[in-house]
Amino acid sequence: MTKKRSKDQYIFQVQEENELLLFLLQKLDQGRNRTKSMLARGQVLVSDQVETQFNRKLVPGVTVTILKHAAPNNKNKGIAILYEDDDMIVINKDAGLLSIASSKEKQQTAYHQLMEHVKMQHPKNRVFIVHRLDRDTSGVMVFAKTEKVKRSLQDHWKQVVQKRTYVAVVEGHITKQQQTLVSWLKETKTHKMYASAKDNGGQKAITHIKKLDANKKYTLLELELDTGRKNQIRVQMEQMNTPVVGDKKYGAATNLIGRLALHANVLAFKHPITNKTLEFKVEVPNAFYELVKG
């Protein structure tokens, strides 16, 4: 039996009749439950077609492909699954999609879609919120699949996260190539955050800023978070009088691309169970670069 390996998949060629689950158990060094989970997630292809039935009959000559990540699910709207295992799901969330339900929207959320996704694998499966992205912010998000993993990630977030960067376009021309913002954030009764350069008893917020590009009207920034406060980047950009493009709530006057120009593009962290470092990077929307041309 031949086996080929690439970065994202294994390919096996079947030499004799067999059932799919038995075939996978023979070839993969892992347990029965984990193998069934891979089938349910759409990580197994037979002759280049996703196969979820564990008792599928295999005949000599067909190929069985094991994907590192689940095959894309076209039912999901506004999310793309970047990684999934028995402990967590990592997604790329589109701008405009809520992370979790609000008083006005219950169904069209990343949380609801992922809950439906895992329940298709088993009715008792669940997902748990680890952190959030604002509705109009796009990029990398992590959801836990067990309460234990959720608590582990949240309780040790500062220790496990090795890199968390955003890219934003802000109004105005920033001259400094690099700087670090330190602020204290508080929330008003109307749920708007505000920042103070001095300790006012609020939550301390630290953001490292790197200038990537600029023109006379806009500046493209990379922002690395030391802390993860509510609306942290948006509030600190307003504090600098360079609000994020499209952020009317925090002082923006323009919205040429029809969305908040804020994108969570890199997240690297230690897996709470395996202790392996996982890093995810998603491309910055082209519209951000268009704003700073010329």
| Dihedral sign from CA coordinates of 234, 156, 265, 131 | negative
Q: Give the active site residues.
A: 134
Domain that residue 119 falls in: 74-155
pTM of the predicted model, to two decimals? 0.74
Mark which of 23, 41, 67 sits at the end of a domain: 67
CATH number of the domain at 206, please: 3.30.2350.10
pLDDT digits (tens, 9 = 90+) for 48-70: 777 878 888 888 888 888 887 76
Do 150 and 166 fall into the same domain? no
Q: Is the CB of residue 291 less than 8 Å from the CB of residue 259?
A: no
Do 274 and 214 fall into the same domain? yes
Do 61 and 97 fall into the same domain? no
- pLDDT confidence of residue 10: 82
Do 177 and 230 fall into the same domain? yes
Q: Number of folded domains in the chain?
A: 3
Do 133 and 260 fall into the same domain? no
pLDDT digits (tens, 9 = 90+) for 66-124: 887 765 555 668 899 899 888 999 999 999 999 987 656 555 899 999 998 888 778 88
Q: Is the CB of residue 223 less than 8 Å from the CB of residue 166?
A: yes
CB neighbour list of residue 94: distance below 8 Å, 6 or more residues apart = 78, 79, 138
Do 244 and 182 fall into the same domain? yes
Q: Is the CB of residue 222 less than 8 Å from the CB of residue 288?
A: no
pLDDT digits (tens, 9 = 90+) for 219-246: 999 999 998 898 999 999 999 999 999 9
Tell me the three state secondary structure of residue 160.
helix
| pLDDT more than 70, % of the chain | 92
Give all strands (DSSP E) within 127-259, no chain letters: 128-129, 138-144, 161-171, 178-187, 193-196, 203-214, 218-225
pLDDT digits (tens, 9 = 90+) for 256-291: 999 999 999 999 999 999 999 999 999 999 999 999
Least confident stretch, 126-130, 136-140, 186-190, 249-253: 186-190
Rounded to whole angstroms, the Cα distance separating 85 from 149 reads 12
Rounded to whole angstroms, the Cα distance separating 186 from 183 reads 10
Rounded to whole angstroms, the Cα distance separating 162 from 13 reads 39
Do 110 and 186 fall into the same domain? no
**Token pair recorded at residue 99:** 């992370």
CATH number of the domain at 60, please: 3.10.290.10
Q: What is the DSSP letter of 282?
A: -
Rounded to whole angstroms, the Cα distance separating 35 from 38 reads 5
Rounded to whole angstroms, the Cα distance separating 146 from 89 reads 11
Mark which of 120, 155, 190 sits at the end of a domain: 155
Do 170 and 149 fall into the same domain? no
Mark which of 140, 155, 170 sits at the end of a domain: 155
Confidence of residue 1 (pLDDT cuts 50, 70, 90): very low
Rounded to whole angstroms, the Cα distance separating 132 from 134 reads 7
Q: Is the CB of residue 109 less than 8 Å from the CB of residue 100?
A: yes
Rounded to whole angstroms, the Cα distance separating 23 from 45 reads 13
Confidence of residue 207 (pLDDT cuts 50, 70, 90): very high
Do 142 and 104 fall into the same domain? yes
Do 111 and 199 fall into the same domain? no
Confidence of residue 2 (pLDDT cuts 50, 70, 90): very low
Nearest 10 degrees: Cα torsion 147, 148, 149, 154: 80
Do 219 and 119 fall into the same domain? no
- pLDDT confidence of residue 155: 94
Do 140 and 164 fall into the same domain? no
